[in-house]
Amino acid sequence: MVLNLSLSGMPYCGCDLGGFWGDPSYDLVCRYYEMAVLFPLYRNHRIKNGKDNEPFRMPPIYTEMIRRAITLRYQFLPYLRELANEAHTSGHPIIRPLVYDFPEDREALYIDDEYMAGHNVVVARQMDGRPGRDFYLPHGTWKEYASGREMAGRRWYWSDDNIPIFIRV
């Protein structure tokens, strides 16, 4: 939804962290916080009478996972501000599918569980609860944000990081 809204000319968008309907598990709420870490809108919101899923009401292990995600987001706020200005002046979306910046890359065309924040950052959070994932990096040289490890593009990799983020070098 966020990628579609962004491509449709609504660059300042997001999703309800944890989902709006139903009673998501604490684990799912945490994965939402991690997945959406660089979305322009980053908020917990739900239907009236839904289960409380505010971080301060969760068991400490989940509160800490969300705290780590929010702390990571704060590190990227200056970059997100630059992207908001770019969206305003040029119309480029803040959050975009990989194929937006790499239209010649057939592999990127089919990837819908990773996103780019601007031209230089890829986020590839695992959303199904498994302890890691395969992810794809498009053309170029990329640096894993957490470790600083450089990686060549146009390849698939594996990560067990909770919030795999890659910066274009």
Query: What is the structure's pLDDT at 105?
Result: 96
Question: What CATH number was assigned to the domain covering residues 2-168?
Answer: 2.60.40.1180
- Position with higher pLDDT, 160 vs 84: 84
Mean pLDDT for 71-93 is: 96
Question: pTM, whole model, 2 decimals?
Answer: 0.91
CA-to-CA dists, residue 162 to 78, 104, 117, angstroms: 22, 29, 17
- Residue 65: pLDDT band with limits 50, 70, 90: very high
Query: What is the structure's pLDDT at 23?
Result: 80
- Residue 124: pLDDT band with limits 50, 70, 90: very high
What whole-number distance in Å separates Cα of residue 6 and Cα of residue 30? 23
- Position with higher pLDDT, 57 vs 98: 98
- Residue 25: pLDDT band with limits 50, 70, 90: confident
Query: What is the structure's pLDDT at 125?
Result: 84
**Average pLDDT value for the chain:** 91
For a pLDDT cut of 70, what percent of the chain falls above it? 99
Residue found by looking up tokens 């890829």 in the block: 122
